Structure 1
Amino acid sequence: MGSLERSGLHGLFAVYKPPGLHWKHLRDTVEFKLLKGLNSKKQYTPKEHIRFLLAPKEGSERGELTLIAKNVPALSEHSLVRGPKYTSMKVGVGHLLDVKSSGVLVLGVGRGNKLLTDIYNAHLTKDYTVRGLLGKATDDFSDEGRLIEKTTYDHVTPEKLSRILAVIQGSHQKAMVMYSNLDLKTQEAYEMAVKGLIRPMDKSPMLITGIRCLKFAPPEFLLEIQCMHETQQLLRRVVHEIGLELKSSAVCTQVRRTRDGVFTLEDALLRTQWNIHNIQTSIQKAAPRVEAELEKSQTIALDHPDPVGQSVS
């Protein structure tokens, strides 16, 4: 296996995962294209060594042979003998997207695999657009599941939907404070709350930090959700529960991640851009933002007060 030290392939980058594609297949495809790009680069000229070879003796009329010294390539260094220089590499995957979902998927390569763990431990929020359809319920909360019931939705209004979304956001904000182990009576906690830096420092249930309706055109509606510690199935369940609160029913027809931490849709490479040049460029562009976010998260963790107002070491 060749070394990645001189390849510039150390860090994090984002790709766009289309719906219907499993994340493992996406990762394997990116890994294959990276290896192909590395091995297609100009290889070093094979070393030469001196060999004494038989050749016709100059001036001989009877075809006599003699030994002459020649420089010949060392076959052990030939690409056809040695095989590809790079044969494997580890491409890590950040917060997963299930098969039905699409959007920003963060990958790590080289030392970027360690950064994936750091990003996970930073508990950063992610943004989604979630599309719902009123009037029916299924066993898996998606429009592809087994139909359980059909309901009316003529009574649903944008105002009723907005009120329910406000209740959801309020309850999750209270849970955020609880799981962040903050005593809001302390000055440190107050300053963190003002700056919007409150976040749980450990694993917690899904927390919704923001939710609003972007479009309401019955029976369809489109939500924007900021959250952490979620799964796409939990987001589908939220749509189902919103339908119940509206005295109707609803299924989720689309889950699309638009931001994962510092990575947005603008950073996500499309399938046609999955090549070594674009990935190297993406890693370089994202590196300062990743470093800044991790430094901020480390500061929050160091200054994070415990319930009695003292810093956690």
Structure 2
Amino acid sequence: MAARSLRGIFAVYKPPAVNWRSVRLTVETGLVHDLNASECPLPHDQIRFLPTTSQGISGTETNLTVAQLPALANHPRVLAVGSGNKQLSYLQDCHLTKEYTVHGSFGTATEDFSDTGRLIEKTTYDHITLDRLERIIAVIQGSHQKALITYSGIDLKSQAAYELACRGMLRPLHKSPPIITGIRCSQFSLPNFTLEVQCVHETQQYLRKIIHEIGLELKSSAVCTSVRRTRDGVFTLDDALIRTDWKLQQISSAVRRSQPRVAAALREDSWRHTALSGMAVPERCPVPTEAEP
């Protein structure tokens, strides 16, 4: 049954300049079309005991008769995809990091920190070197590392802090301001540069502002020319379905492939809460490795 394979989470590729609501509507429309075009399975029969009356010696008697009736509610629904919403909510509570490739350019400043915004000023940038840029990046990462420790809610001297740090699981315990957990320069060719950023609770506007602030720290200015997310929690670009794959079969396959990783992430987060609280934390959302029957 096609709808039963749609209980889970999957990733799609959102093209630039396309609103996420438009992407969601397109995916939902495609799923409805494919589900309606698929063969509808016959309803399963259910056993019911129906009361019947008859006239006996002592008057009216009530008897129970066994009958087989169709279970009319057992039909495919697109809401089967929505059953993964609970898993998604738990996954968001894990506060997993995201990775971005952020491109910037020195020499200009705009109102919205992007290269398409209204120009505010132009500045020189010939004095900027890779070494100076990397020193600013190190300062940014150091300040955000302190914030990460603060919002993780752990005692640095505790065994839990040591175990979480060894496993790379220092994350905010609750919702926090944007925190950069890792940042490095992967390309530098004046006036252009590229940063690889790992962060939590960020927005694209925040990432553009980081580029702007780097320009200011280097006695210049800078704008963000593009932002591309390369990983979202357990999902990477390889998992993202392109527009031609937003179909029932491809989405069902993507859901099945993601289930083991989603389950592993939820179990790991339960272990993290156990380490923080010192008491057993039950697995909050068991996820099957196969589609449920």
Partner of 1:155: 127
Partner of 2:235: 263
Report the residue type matching 1:304 in the other structure: L
8 A Cα contact 1:258 1:264, kept in partner: yes
Match 1:235 to one of 207, 212, 224: 207
Distance 1:21 1:203 in 2: 27
> 1:43: Cα distance to partner?
3.6
Partner of 1:18: 15
Partner of 1:128: 100
Compute the TM-score of the two structures, normalised by the length of structure 1. Answer: 0.76
List gaps (5 residues or longer) in structure 1: 47-84, 92-108
Report the residue type matching 1:262 in the other structure: V
Report the residue type matching 2:103 in the other structure: R
Distance 1:209 1:259 in 2: 14
Distance 1:38 1:5 in 2: 7
Distance 2:38 2:130 in 1: 57
Task: Give the % identical residues.
Answer: 55
Partner of 1:49: none
SS in 2 for 1:12: coil
8 A Cα contact 1:138 1:251, kept in partner: yes
Distance 2:122 2:198 in 1: 29
1:280 correspondence with 2:252? yes
- Closer, same or farther: CA 261–28 of 1 in aligned 2, 3 Å: same
Distance 2:159 2:226 in 1: 42
Distance 1:156 1:270 in 2: 39
1:298 correspondence with 2:250? no
Task: List aligned pairs for 1:1-313, cutoff 5 A.
Answer: 6-43=3-40, 89=78, 109-305=81-277
> 1:230: Cα distance to partner?
0.4
8 A Cα contact 1:180 1:198, kept in partner: yes
Runs (4+) of structure 1 exceeding 4 A deviation are 310-313
Matched residues, number: 250
Distance 2:121 2:280 in 1: 50
Q: CA RMSD in A?
A: 2.1
Compute the TM-score of the two structures, normalised by the length of structure 2. Answer: 0.81
> 1:9: Cα distance to partner?
0.8
List gaps (5 residues or longer) in structure 2: 44-74, 282-293
> 1:112: Cα distance to partner?
0.7
